[in-house]
Structure 1
Amino acid sequence: MSSLGPARIVVIGSTMMDMISYMPRIPDTGETLIGDRFALGFGGKGANQAVMAGRLGADVWMVACLGTDVFGDMTIDNFHTAGIDTTYVTRTSSASSGVAPIWVEAGGDNRIVCVSGANAHLTSSQAIRAVESIPRVDVVVGQFEVPQDVTAAGFRAAKERGALTVLNPAPAAEISADLLSVTDWLMPNEVEFESLAGSAPTDAAIAELARRFGVNVVATLGEAGAAVLDGSGSVVRIAPPTTTAVDTTGAGDAFVGAFSYGLAAGLPPAAAARLGCACATSSVARAGTQSSFPQAAELEAALSWATA
């Protein structure tokens, strides 16, 4: 849908069925609280990032594992509706499809529990086969909701083909040396950054983390936007457009998907991060996860703002 270059992206990652409860506040231990409303939606960091990149115009292949249950059927249908290629999505009867109970309180803050289910059954051979089989790949994206060795295998195949690799280290966890060695871009949020670096994402801390891990870094900073460090050696901070937050669920995934699309389409890293900020800002203004991602005119506005 954009005037940028063609973008071909492989996402190795998770799918989740989001079960979202909206409430005035989070209940205390042992307390029962009456919520405001409930919604069922499609999620999973990998799936969210794939859908966001696809909305911007990328050709996207999803590499994932689903259960042989109704949530798996619904997820496949949702991918097809979103234009995501499911050739490399497998099914297993050994586990349920992934689910994510989510609590959202007034003001938009959220708490999420991810139950991996079939996501843990994704294999390295599946990731390698996907990356090696697709005619051209620009960017391969991964997260921590599937086994790290699977992502590392897919990233290694991507590097052998000259594709860029983007790792969103979420949920926060130690990164294996094997995975780091084939990662080009590391994209933590503030919590994940502090887990990795032991400090808040100051310019000096971002530069030190990039040096120590041998990667480029984009730190997402919530309402403060993002900070980007690439090969130039300087940190660029990007303030997002203003908005009123309704639900922050999925905003980080909107950023990762949009940033990955920007890189694949040939944008400089700072412009790709501006696109990520614009899409994430649009997302937090509405409730839901994938259902909150920008569409149509909002996407055009985000691209215009990012490349101005």
Structure 2
Amino acid sequence: MKKRILIIGSLNMDMIIEMKRMPAIGETVLGDNLSYIPGGKGANQAYAAGRLGGDVAMLGCVGDDNMGEKLVCNIAGSGADASFIMKTENIPTGTAVIYVNEKGDNSIVVISGANNACNVEYLKQNDNLIQESDYVMVQMEIPLETIMYGIRRAKELNKTVILNPAPAPNPKTLPEDIFENIDYITPNETELIMLSGQTKISPENIREGARILLEKGVPNVLVTLGEKGTLYISRQMEALYPARKVEAVDTTAAGDCFNGAFVTALSEGKSVKEAVIFANCASSIAVTRKGAQSSIPDRKEVEDILKHWQQ
């Protein structure tokens, strides 16, 4: 029997600008294309979980505008429960401007907008959702106070808590005890290095950074390494689960797809290894397509590839 998932996080309308290369500071370049695609880390993860068959609901805020309406409808269309998403007056829906070069690499600027209205009081008003959920996943695009409250409240209720620390927070802003309330943390290389107080990305520093988070109290660290796969480190073991080799077109939301797929697999009773392989497969499909939610595969696509993919 599937367990229930609650995702607390951001909803943004992504403005995607495609270009041959990123501009240097002070430089003007011509873009090739502009498109509007539903995004936001929380929304992407909820959408992914819904598309992949998870029993998932989302808490987050949008503006009372056309973009907000489109975002809510898109989440609902994935199969996720979007009925508790709040529409705010006089605050526009969050926006992300995403620059994508011809190699598929991206740079992102986020304007929070209505995401700042996702406050502690809103979570308290929807405490029944936390109570009814088995897994609670959060990211870092809503107010820090809300994130900390959500993590502590979920752990108080003995829920499995997953933190995707993106965008990477300043570790000095995080209460030391918060790590003890997290069951799984899922940074990428850059986020891990920042969280663990290091300055250089290297295989040795990545492993050291993961161990630092273990010492802080997180029992399970999953570091997404792009085309290298996912490094899993716990107090009992260490394993590198390889990525499926593909030609990336756009890496936007690849991490969000991974997280949504990972929590969905866990909610179905899969082991960490099985959940990571499932999530790696889902994200490998996402990077071959453009956009955030528009790139996320459905369950059949992932299962069809898993039948033939040799890890």
TM-score, normalised to structure 2's length? Answer: 0.91
Q: CA deviation at 1:82?
A: 1.5
Matching residue's letter, 1:153: Y
1:113 to 91, 109, 115: 109
Q: CA deviation at 1:154?
A: 2.0
> Is 1:20–2:16 an aligned residue pair?
yes
> Is 1:283–2:294 an aligned residue pair?
no
Q: 2-side partners of 1:305 and 1:207: how far apart?
A: 34
Q: 2-side partners of 1:60 and 1:7: how far apart?
A: 9
Q: 2-side partners of 1:47 and 1:249: how far apart?
A: 13
Matching residue's letter, 2:43: A
- In the alignment, what sits opposite 1:293? 296
Q: Deviations over 1:79-110 (max 9, x none)?
A: 22122212321121242110000000011000
> Bigger shift: 239-248 or 153-162?
153-162
Q: 2-side partners of 1:120 and 1:7: how far apart?
A: 29
- In the alignment, what sits opposite 2:253? 250
Q: CA deviation at 1:67?
A: 0.9
- In the alignment, what sits opposite 1:43? 39
Distance 1:228 1:21, change over 3 A: same
> Bigger shift: 76-85 or 41-50?
76-85
> Bigger shift: 23-32 or 33-42?
23-32
Distance 1:60 1:49, change over 3 A: same
Secondary structure at the residue paired with 1:101? strand
Contact (CA 8 Å) 2:6, 2:58: kept in 1 or not?
yes
The unaligned stretches of length 5 or more in structure 2 are none
The unaligned stretches of length 5 or more in structure 1 are none
> Is 1:219–2:215 an aligned residue pair?
no
> Bigger shift: 98-107 or 134-143?
134-143
1:159 to 130, 155, 159: 155
> Within 5 Å, which residues of 2 pair with 1:220-235?
220-232=224-236, 234-235=237-238
Contact (CA 8 Å) 1:88, 1:126: kept in 2 or not?
no
Distance 1:142 1:35, change over 3 A: same
Q: 1-side partners of 2:59 and 2:250: how far apart?
A: 27
Q: CA deviation at 1:227?
A: 0.5
- In the alignment, what sits opposite 1:240? 243
Q: CA deviation at 1:238?
A: 0.8
Q: Deviations over 1:261-298 (max 9, x none)?
A: 12221111122111111111110011111111112531
Q: CA deviation at 1:158?
A: 1.9
Contact (CA 8 Å) 1:11, 1:62: kept in 2 or not?
yes
Q: CA deviation at 1:143?
A: 0.5
1:102 to 87, 91, 98: 98
Distance 1:186 1:10, change over 3 A: same
Q: 2-side partners of 1:156 and 1:166: how far apart?
A: 12
Secondary structure at the residue paired with 2:150? helix
Q: How many residues align?
A: 303
> Bigger shift: 6-15 or 118-127?
118-127
Distance 1:305 1:235, change over 3 A: farther
Contact (CA 8 Å) 1:138, 1:163: kept in 2 or not?
yes
Q: CA deviation at 1:164?
A: 0.4
- In the alignment, what sits opposite 1:76? 72
Matching residue's letter, 1:191: T
TM-score, normalised to structure 1's length? Answer: 0.91
Secondary structure at the residue paired with 2:250? coil
- In the alignment, what sits opposite 2:181? 182
Contact (CA 8 Å) 2:262, 2:279: kept in 1 or not?
yes
Distance 1:131 1:235, change over 3 A: farther
Q: CA deviation at 1:205?
A: 3.4
- In the alignment, what sits opposite 1:195? 194
> Bigger shift: 260-269 or 177-186?
177-186
> Bigger shift: 155-164 or 46-55?
155-164
